[in-house]
Amino acid sequence: MNADMKAGMNAEEIARRSAEEIARRSAEVMLAADRASKSLGIELRNVAPGTGEVTMVVRPDMANGWDICHGGLIATLADTAFAVACNSYGVLSLAAGFDITFLEPGRIGDHLLARAEERALKGRTGVYDVTVSRLRPDGTDGDPIAEFRGRSRNVGRPVRSVDGGALQLDQLARDREAGDAEHRRGRRHPSGG
């Protein structure tokens, strides 16, 4: 019996905590090496399996010619939340594409929140929705300013730290990788992919 079981936690609680730890470590490792997000001041707010939240304050140097936040930077914020969510299982996933709809402009001084939610995960493909909204002064969500839908592709390798070391994945992530490998062996695409 391990220490968690002795502490009164059941197997489901242990698996949930392990999954949350994998999500947190995956986000930390990815964002530590993400120079683009760092340069924009994007910060991790929350992460859990299949979800991610990041924030950004719109600075004067982020304004376009109309003195509103450049749409590409709002897309970058949404893409970062999407990346946090789709990599939250400890397996490297990359964007296969995305669409974004701008609802309102972001303004200089706005505190923006991008919240990503997994909508579908089938085989190696994921679909995630991200809402970008203004944060109110009390930290709660305000009006949405953009809606983003991202499509991810799991490349079947563990998330790696900057020095190339794999995360310490628990049995949950290893089981997931084994299932993906079994899927690839059993049903290969005619192109070999």
- List the CATH number of the domain containing 60: 3.10.129.10
Cα(9)–Cα(12) distance, integer angstroms: 8
Which residues form the domain of 86? 3-186
Give the DSSP H/E element, type plus range, for residue 32: helix 11-32
Please indicate, yes or no, if residue 56 is contained in any of the structural domains: yes
Please indicate, yes or no, if residue 88 is contained in any of the structural domains: yes
Give the pLDDT score at 144. Answer: 98
Which whole number is the average pLDDT over 9-26? 78
Please indicate, yes or no, if residue 191 is contained in any of the structural domains: no
Please indicate, yes or no, if residue 131 is contained in any of the structural domains: yes
Please indicate, yes or no, if residue 12 is contained in any of the structural domains: yes
Which tens digits make up the pLDDT trace of 33-69?
999 999 999 999 999 999 999 999 999 999 999 999 9
Please indicate, yes or no, if residue 193 is contained in any of the structural domains: no
| Terminal CA-CA length for the chain | 42
Count how many domains the chain has: 1
- Give, in order, the Cα–Cα distances in Å from 132 to each of 117, 127, 141: 12, 17, 9
Can you give the pTM of this predicted structure?
Answer: 0.79
Tokens of 172: 């949950």
Please indicate, yes or no, if residue 192 is contained in any of the structural domains: no
Which tens digits make up the pLDDT trace of 72-130?
999 999 999 999 999 999 999 999 999 999 999 999 999 999 999 999 999 999 999 99
